[in-house]
């Protein structure tokens, strides 16, 4: 896939301390493995690179809309709600509707629970941008402060 970035997206990626090459790698890996979410118009792909999980949101023509990251390591899905909230995302690998679920999250040796978009069939989990850049980022900051 020919991955393309607007100037504003390049700037955003830089501000978030991410590398363009990593984002390209994530998209190419997702396209070759089909391990991604799709909502009919855009894709959400992710890859753990070093100490961070990096996400890319892009359309079928390779235009990158945004990229972001978190440091927590996502683990198993936890069974919580009996009636999970649906999302617009479909797990492409499983052709299964993804839902809002709960997953284990580990950071600095501490494992807790947190919300994520999950595929209940394959057990994979993704964090959406609003959570990664705000709530989860704040949680990582709190872990660092409380562990200090």
Residues sharing a CB contact under 8 Å with residue 82, sequence separation 6 or more, in sequence order: none
Q: Helix or strand or coil: residue 12?
A: helix
Closer of 15 and 82 to other proteins (Cβ): 82
Site size for other proteins, by CB under 8 A? Answer: 29
Could you give the dihedral angle defined by the CA atoms of residues 72, 103, 63 and 96, in that order, rounded to the nearest 10 degrees?
A: 160
Which of 19, 48, 121, 134 binds other proteins (CB under 8 A)? It is 134
Among 114, 117, 118, 125, binds other proteins (CB under 8 A): 114
| Chain position carrying tokens 């959570």 | 131
Kindly indicate which of the ranges 9-17, 33-41, 99-107, 117-125 contains the residues binding other proteins, using the contact rule CB under 8 A: 99-107
- Binding flag, residue 83, other proteins (CB under 8 A): yes
For residue 62, the 8-state DSSP code is: -
DSSP label of 135: I
Q: Does 138 help bind other proteins (rule: CB under 8 A)?
A: yes
Count the alpha carbons within 13 Å of 81 in the hemisphere toward its beta carbon: 14
Residue from 39, 48, 113, 122 that binds other proteins (CB under 8 A)?
113
Instruction: Indicate whether 63 belongs to the interface with other proteins (CB under 8 A).
Output: no
Contacts by 79-83, CB closer than 8 A, 24 or more apart:
80/113
As measured in angstroms, the least distance from the Cβ of 100 to other proteins is 7
Angle at 33 between CA 31 and CA 37, to 5 degrees: 65
Interface positions with other proteins (CB under 8 A): 72, 78, 80-83, 85, 100, 102, 105, 107-110, 112-115, 130-131, 134-136, 138-139, 142-143, 146-147
């Amino acid at each position: 896939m020919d991955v393309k970035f607007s100037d504003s997206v390049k700037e955003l990626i830089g501000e978030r301390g991410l590398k363009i090459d990593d984002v390209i790698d994530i998209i190419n890996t997702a396209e070759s493995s089909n391990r991604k979410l799709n909502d009919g118009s855009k894709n959400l792909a992710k890859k753990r690179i070093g100490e961070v999980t990096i996400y890319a949101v892009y359309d079928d023509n390779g235009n990158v809309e945004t990229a972001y990251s978190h440091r927590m390591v996502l683990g198993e899905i936890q069974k919580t709600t009996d009636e999970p909230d649906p999302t617009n995302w479909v797990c492409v690998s499983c052709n299964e509707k993804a839902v809002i679920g709960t997953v284990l999250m580990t950071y600095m040796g501490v494992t807790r629970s947190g919300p994520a978009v999950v595929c209940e069939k394959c057990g994979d989990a993704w964090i959406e941008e609003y959570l990664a850049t705000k709530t989860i980022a704040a949680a990582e900051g709190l872990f660092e402060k409380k562990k200090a």
